[in-house]
């Protein structure tokens, strides 16, 4: 049976999450997004042309090492907690259908000048609205300064 | 050898536009035929559904010939979860369609080797040719069916070619 009680989302959880992320050492993470006009040439598809990724800053974000068992030859994994307000602003600005689309378009995330690959994305919700995104990241093998 | 790899991919990509023009994907903001070279794209945790992904594996060089004959292993990986309007219950049929497309993409088993580092691309002196596909078993992961077809690609290393 449907729950017909009145629950008006007022954005409280989103504001609390944003404030907590900011207060607990919030930083800026940059999604590596493809250029708006993609490269449709042969050279762009066989690794000849530089992809020209754009850096999309997201803040406040909280970055921490994930508590996962370390295995041989496995690079460490990290968690990135992102404010839903920051994601919603970018989804609207880029006219995307969802945050999932935003993450699936990204080729990686740069935090503190280091590149990480996105392994998975999940959400925390309150009253049916997302207030926090959690990305599971893995350190990229290439040690390039970004 | 890179020219042979590029030629093989672009030959299959161009054939796909004829075999099944509706098999497209959006990758790096470009709508393109549903085939890609894994080593030329960003790594992804999950394979692209309903698209073919080429990955280069083995390499054997035959030095007993007048020109070096390179044999390169290529794996064509593809996955599907069926169509949304069928709630994924057509995933077996969708995989069979992709199996058939692999056969169509690979035939004929040769192409003129091209140098795509130049613009426009220039034809080289030899051909790239490849074996018939060797299909692996279907791998089921929840609602996703995957298969890998293995092909051996042969190409002569021309003088001055990197």
Instruction: Say yes or no to pLDDT of A19 above 80.
Output: yes
The pLDDT of residue A10: 85
HSE toward the beta carbon, residue A96, CA cutoff 13 A: 19
| Rounded Cα gap, residues B139 and B76, in angstroms | 14
Residue A146 — very low, low, confident or very high, per pLDDT cuts 50/70/90? low
Q: Please answer yes or no on whether B10 and A44 come within 8 Å at the CB atom.
A: no
Interface A-B, measured as beta-carbon pairs within 8 A, has a size of: 55
Q: Rounded mean pLDDT of B71-82?
A: 97
What span, in angstroms and rounded, lies between the C-alpha atoms of B37 and B54?
Answer: 5
d(CA A82, CA A21): 8
Interchain contact, A38 vs B29, CB within 8 Å? yes
As a three-state string, the secondary structure of chain B is CHHHHHHHHHHHHHHHHHHCCCCEEEECCEEEECEEEHHHCCCCCCCCCCCEEEEEEEEEEECCCCCCEEEEEEEEEEEECCCHHHCCCCHHHHHHHHHHHHHHHHCCCEEEEEECCCCCCEEEEEEEEECCCEECCCEEECCEEEEEEEEEEEEECCCCCC
- The pLDDT, as a whole number, for residue B7 is 96
Q: A74 to chain B nearest CA, in Å?
A: 15
Q: What is the DSSP letter of A115?
A: E
Per CB-CB distance under 8 Å, the chain B contacts of A51 are 28, 42
* Mean pLDDT of chain B, nearest integer: 94
| pTM across the whole model | 0.87
Using CA coordinates, name the residue in chain B closest to A44. Answer: B40
Which chain B residues are Cβ-neighbours of A118 within 8 angstroms?
A: 45
Record the tokens describing residue B4, joined without a space. Answer: 């042979």
Provide the H-helix boundaries in chain A.
12-23, 42-45, 84-93, 99-105
Contact A38 B6 (CB under 8 A): no
pLDDT of residue B160: 77
Mutate to test the interface with A, among B29, B49, B114 (most CBs of A within 10 A): B29
Domains and CATH numbers, chain A: 26-36+50-139 (2.40.10)
User: B78-110 pLDDT, tens per residue?
Assistant: 999 999 999 999 999 999 999 999 999 999 999
Q: Among A10-19, A136-145, B32-41, which stretch is predicted with the lowest mean pLDDT?
A: A136-145
DSSP state of A66: -
CATH topology of domain B2-156: STM4215-like (3.30.2000)
Q: Six-digit token pair at B21?
A: 């023009």
- The CA R_g of chain B, rounded to the nearest whole Å, is 17
Out of A37, A44, A117, name the one closest to residue B43 (CB): A117
Percent of chain A at pLDDT > 70 equals 91
| Candidates A43, A51, A120; nearest CB to B28 | A51
* For B2, nearest residue in chain A (alpha carbons): A46
Contact B37 A40 (CB under 8 A): no
Nearest CA in chain B to A116: B43
Residue B38 has which token pair? 């894994």
A105–B121: do the CB atoms touch at under 8 Å? Answer: no
pLDDT band at A37 (very low <50, low <70, confident <90, very high): confident
Question: Does residue A54 have a pLDDT over 80?
Answer: yes
Closest CA to A11 of A123, A97, A122, A130: A130
B7 chain-A contacts, CB cut-off 8 A: none
Task: Read off the tokens for B94.
Answer: 């969708």
Residue B1 C-alpha, separation from nearest chain A C-alpha, in angstroms: 13
- Alpha carbons B108 and A82: distance in angstroms, whole number: 50
């Amino acid at each position: 049976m449907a729950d017909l009680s009145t629950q008006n989302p007022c954005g409280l959880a989103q504001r609390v999450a944003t404030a907590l992320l900011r207060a607990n050492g919030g930083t800026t993470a940059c999604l590596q997004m493809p250029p708006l006009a993609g490269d449709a040439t042969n050279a762009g598809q066989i690794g000849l042309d530089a992809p020209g990724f754009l850096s999309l800053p997201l803040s406040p974000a909280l970055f921490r090492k994930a508590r996962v068992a370390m295995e041989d030859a496995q690079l460490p994994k990290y968690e990135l907690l992102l404010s839903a307000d920051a994601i919603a602003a970018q989804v609207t600005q880029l006219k995307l259908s969802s945050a999932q689309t935003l993450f699936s378009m990204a080729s990686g995330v740069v935090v503190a000048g280091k590149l990480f690959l996105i392994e998975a994305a999940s959400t925390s919700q309150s009253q049916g609205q997302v207030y926090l995104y959690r990305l599971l990241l893995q350190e990229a093998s290439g040690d390039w300064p970004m | 050898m890179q020219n042979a790899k590029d030629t093989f991919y672009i030959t299959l990509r161009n054939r796909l536009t004829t075999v099944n023009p509706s098999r497209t994907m959006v990758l790096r903001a470009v709508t393109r035929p549903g085939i890609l070279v894994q080593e030329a794209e960003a790594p992804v945790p999950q394979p692209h559904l309903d698209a073919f992904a080429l990955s280069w594996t083995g390499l054997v060089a035959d030095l007993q010939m007048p020109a070096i004959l390179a044999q390169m292993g290529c794996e064509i990986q593809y996955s599907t979860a069926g169509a949304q309007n069928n709630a994924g219950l057509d995933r077996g049929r969708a995989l069979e369609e992709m199996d058939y497309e692999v056969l169509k993409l690979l035939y004929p088993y040769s192409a003129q080797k091209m140098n795509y580092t130049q613009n426009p691309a220039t034809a080289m002196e030899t051909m790239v040719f490849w074996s018939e596909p060797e299909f692996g078993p279907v791998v089921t992961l929840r609602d996703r069916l995957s298969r890998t077809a293995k092909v051996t690609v042969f190409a002569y290393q021309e003088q001055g070619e990197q």
